[in-house]
Amino acid sequence: EVQVVESGGGLVQPGGSLRLSCAASGFIFSDHYMDWVRQAPGKGLEWVGRTRNKANSYITEYAASVKGRFTISRDDSKNSLSLQMNSLKTEDTAVYYCARGGSGSSLDFWGQGTLVTVSS
């Protein structure tokens, strides 16, 4: 059974940092692109970024709103994905989802999300 489980969310002050993790199981992690998507309270889905797989040189791509502040990394030996978030702003408050890349640019399996609250 395919599973992705996020962890690491919490309350952080503006300007602070937080690292989210995503543990994957039930599939060949190294074959897949992996994405982070967020959802602010009561709002729609917003793409954060993704890491391509080894065959595509682990290239990372980011939304303009987080580029330069957030870093996505992966460890294929541990089936894990991370999101390092620096210089956090109140507008980064959201549920952060880890999702597996599927056919084309689709996301075919999602975790349940972890809540990040940026507030003083």
Partner 1 sequence: SYVLTQPPSMSVAPGKTARITCGGNNIGSKSVHWYQQKPGQAPVLVIYYDSDRPSGIPDRFSGSNSGNTATLTISRVEAGDEADYYCQVWDNSSDHKVFGGGTKLTVL
Residues contributing to the site for partner 1 (CB under 8 A): 35, 37, 44-47, 50, 61, 63-64, 97, 102-108, 110-113
Q: What is the C-alpha to C-alpha distance for residues 58 and 30, in angstroms, rounded to an integer? A: 10
- Find, among 115, 85, 80, 74, the residue nearest to 97 by Cα: 115
Of the pair 90, 112, the CB lying nearest partner 1 is at 112
Q: Which is nearer to partner 1, 3 or 73 (CB)?
A: 3
Cβ 15 to partner 1 shortest distance, Å: 26
CB-wise, 19 or 67, nearer to partner 1? Answer: 67
Residues 20 and 28: beta-carbon distance below 8 Å: no
How near is the Cβ of 38 to partner 1 at its closest, in Å? 11
Q: Shortest approach of partner 1 to residue 105 CB, angstroms? A: 4
CB 12 within 8 A of CB 88: yes
Encoding tokens for residue 43? 């709002």
